[in-house]
Structure 1
């Protein structure tokens, strides 16, 4: 079951993704670096973005995701397109990849509290601009 949820989330559909033809808002670029509390970059893993509110006026916000590279860098998007997220507030989760984790990954170190959107204290706000948002797990 987790594998199906992972695939749906990475594709940008998530648990309550927009239906085909839905009026989706215009995304703004979102990128940055993911680090642990001590400043060490996350090597590998995945970052998920869940909108706090699905509606953005007459448009919809959608779940987003990004794989994290060996330097801890991510570029968020829907369906792994890297085009960004619709402006608004998002709850962020960080986890290891279920399949295809990077060699030498340290994603197993991610504390359990950041792996679930119900317990994650990580939140970001996306604005209508190029958003460089570094995520620090503390």
Structure 2
């Protein structure tokens, strides 16, 4: 077998292996809206922590209150059970503080119980395909 044929065969094997393994795409997507006491949140972050092993999925809350989860740089996440946190703060108009450093964080909008997956009261089962999950948060802590 000539050197070119060997190289060609090696490339075909590598391509076949990549096709079998996949490129890290996820079988599920999640999007929705986020509100606090009936008003859309205009900023913040949402984190979906898998109950089993696996990477955490994140989303930035858009000014419209909408979000779409990503895992790393890829859209989507693996199907399974997740615990969720939501953290939102008022946006500051300052670009820097007086000493030139980052501005101080804005006032926290979401109650503390939404910052921890064990106290947020937010848990979801993600199925393959698209999942629409609207997060209707309240300032009152779940369960009283």
Which bracket does the TM-score occupy, shorter chain normalised?
Answer: 0.5 to 0.7
- Shift in Å at residue 89 of structure 1? 1.2
Residue 123 (structure 1) shift = 1.0
Q: Which residue is 1:17 aligned to? A: none
Q: Which residue is equivalent to 1:20?
A: none
| Deviations 1:87-133, CA, capped at 9 Å, x for gaps | 11111101136xxx576xx9822010001122111112111111111
Q: Identify which of 78, 83, 97 aligns with 1:91.
A: 83
Larger radius of gyration: 2
CA contact (8 A) 2:41 2:88 kept: no
Query: What corresponds to 2:28 in structure 1?
Result: 28
The TM-score normalised by the length of structure 2 is 0.63
Relative to structure 1, is the Cα distance of residues 25 and 118 closer, same or farther in structure 2, using a 3 angstrom cutoff? farther
Give me the TM-score of the superposition, normalised by structure 1: 0.65
- Give the secondary-structure state (helix, strand or coil) at the position aligned to 2:118: coil
Residue in 2 that maps onto 1:45: 44
Residue pair 1:43, 1:70 contacting (<8 A) in 2 also = yes
The one of 36, 48, 73 aligned to 2:66:
73
- Which 4+ residue blocks in structure 1 deviate beyond 4 angstroms? none
Aligned length: 103
Superposed CA RMSD: 2.5
